[in-house]
Structure 1
Amino acid sequence: MSRAPGADDDGWSALHDGVEPSAVVRGWLRMVRALAAGPVLRIPPDVLSVTGVAALAGALAVVAGPGRPWLAVPLIVAAGVLDGLDGAVALRTGRARPLGAVVDAVADRIGDLLLGAVLLALGAPAAWVVAAVTLVLLHEYLRSRAQAAGMPGVGAVTVAERPTRLIVVAMAAGGAAAFPAGLPVLGWNWGATFAITWTGIGVVGLAQLMVGVRRSIPPRFPPAR
């Protein structure tokens, strides 16, 4: 989660160009706000970012090593919570800073690579994993360059945001734990199923972001009269 206003409903709306958060997002924001209190406030935000990456590395280890995908699910959920807490703690403690935002962004991209590796360990074809991760990198690079060009906020909230990616991989791990044989109807394993799902969501999300960028970036010069 970017370290900008976003620890409450109003802050989230300001960050997302006035978009009102859904009931699910409001619930998530309240949970993060409740957790970002007490002893948690003493933890440096950068440590929370790095710990989130470590949780995803642990998820990869339990899938690729002993082959226990059910253990990956709570680790992926924990990574998502930590991804929200780092920004919330930085804001509440006044420790939000540009370097912290860079650390957070780098941690997010490493986390995305680890999510792709989890799907690969679950049996996803490498080509689909590469396609899914490439779309993520394009999505975030487009947003970053558009913000540098003057786009306010995030330009557009797409279906391919980081929480969706975490959910997709958690569902793949959960499915592999509950039904190791995969989907009997399609004959696909869980890694392949959700790598394809991630790729499809990524295509839609990239298209949504392109539309948002086109609408959000101010013209360099005023139109001629």
Structure 2
Amino acid sequence: MPPYLSREEYFTAWAQWHGGTDPRRSPVVQGWLTLAHTLARPLAGTSPLVATLVGLAVAGAAVAPAAAGGPWLLLAGALVGASGLLDSLDGALAIAGGRATRRGYVLDSAVDRLTEVGYATALWVAGAPGWLAVVFGALCWFPDYLRARAGQAGVDETGAISVWERPARVAVVAMTLVGAGVVSGAAGLAELVVLLGAAAGALLGAVGSGQLAVQLRRALG
């Protein structure tokens, strides 16, 4: 088994797999990856695929308690947070453990998009309007679609860090559901929290997409 990379080595290797973007540029991303790197170290012998598939299952499992509403929303929020952590854990196991492959990278990216479908669905069944949940989900997908297309067009650095990276998406959904669960005893408040959380996520998604679009426009000439 290859030696487990140090945190700094992991950041460097992570950047190579993510369009050349240094995670140290963002305190949020750096902190998120540091947590994943720390948690992955004692699990270094575990297959990254296990964490990937468990993370997808956990994200899907959040939909049922979100639909149940009331105090169950607390569980839904916790499951969303756990799925996001598992998503970062599989990357740490692969990259820091020296087992990253192109096939695994593509699979991880595809699973990320599926988990974001789960997040949007959880917001919808928890009370967000259907159209807003669709917009939220689309704005989770759009930045990564831009990066993929820019990479195919020959842009070397496609990973500009915006306000709407994976940690932010997970945090918004998890905190929205937990917040709704906390106030679920008051009539109508849970639905309002979900509405505001989904709207805030959509706004951040629009801003993040704009940030990325500006950077890519410069890179494309």
TM > 0.5: yes
**Cα gap change, 1:11/1:163 in structure 2, threshold over 3 Å: closer, same or farther?**
same
Judge which range, 88-97 or 50-59, deviates more.
Answer: 88-97
SS across alignment from 2:51: helix
Return the alpha-carbon distance in structure 2 between the equivalents of residues 211 and 201 of structure 1. Answer: 15
Say if 1:76 and 1:166, in contact at 8 Å, map to a contact too: yes
Which residue number in structure 1 is paired with residue 114 of structure 2? 110
The CA deviation at 1:188 is 5.6
SS across alignment from 2:194: helix
Q: Which consecutive residues of structure 2, in runs of 5 or more, have no partner in the other structure?
A: 1-6
Deviations 1:124-167 (A, max 9, x none): 00011111112222222111100111222334111111111111
Deviations 1:143-199 (A, max 9, x none): 110011122233411111111111111111111111124786xx9622211111111
Return the alpha-carbon distance in structure 1 between the equivalents of residues 77 and 207 of structure 2. Answer: 25
Return the alpha-carbon distance in structure 2 between the equivalents of residues 210 and 140 of structure 1. Answer: 11
More helix by share: 2
Q: TM-score normalized by structure 1?
A: 0.83
The CA deviation at 1:18 is 4.6
Query: RMSD between aligned alpha carbons?
Result: 2.5
Which residue number in structure 2 is paired with residue 49 of structure 1? 52
Return the alpha-carbon distance in structure 2 between the equivalents of residues 203 and 169 of structure 1. Answer: 16
Which residue number in structure 2 is paired with residue 207 of structure 1? 210
Q: TM-score normalized by structure 2?
A: 0.84
Does residue 98 of structure 2 align to residue 100 of structure 1? no
Return the alpha-carbon distance in structure 1 between the equivalents of residues 198 and 145 of structure 2. Answer: 21
**Cα gap change, 1:62/1:130 in structure 2, threshold over 3 Å: closer, same or farther?**
same
Which residue number in structure 2 is paired with residue 80 of structure 1? 84
Say if 1:17 and 1:152, in contact at 8 Å, map to a contact too: no
Say if 1:64 and 1:121, in contact at 8 Å, map to a contact too: yes
SS across alignment from 1:189: helix
**Cα gap change, 1:110/1:63 in structure 2, threshold over 3 Å: closer, same or farther?**
same
Which residue number in structure 1 is paired with residue 3 of structure 2? none
Return the alpha-carbon distance in structure 2 between the equivalents of residues 152 and 104 of structure 1. Answer: 20
Which residue number in structure 2 is paired with residue 223 of structure 1? none
The CA deviation at 1:205 is 0.9
Say if 1:7 and 1:87, in contact at 8 Å, map to a contact too: no
Which of 10, 20, 32 is residue 8 of structure 1 equivalent to?
10
Say if 1:90 and 1:96, in contact at 8 Å, map to a contact too: yes
**Cα gap change, 1:10/1:189 in structure 2, threshold over 3 Å: closer, same or farther?**
same
Partner AA of 2:97 in structure 1: T
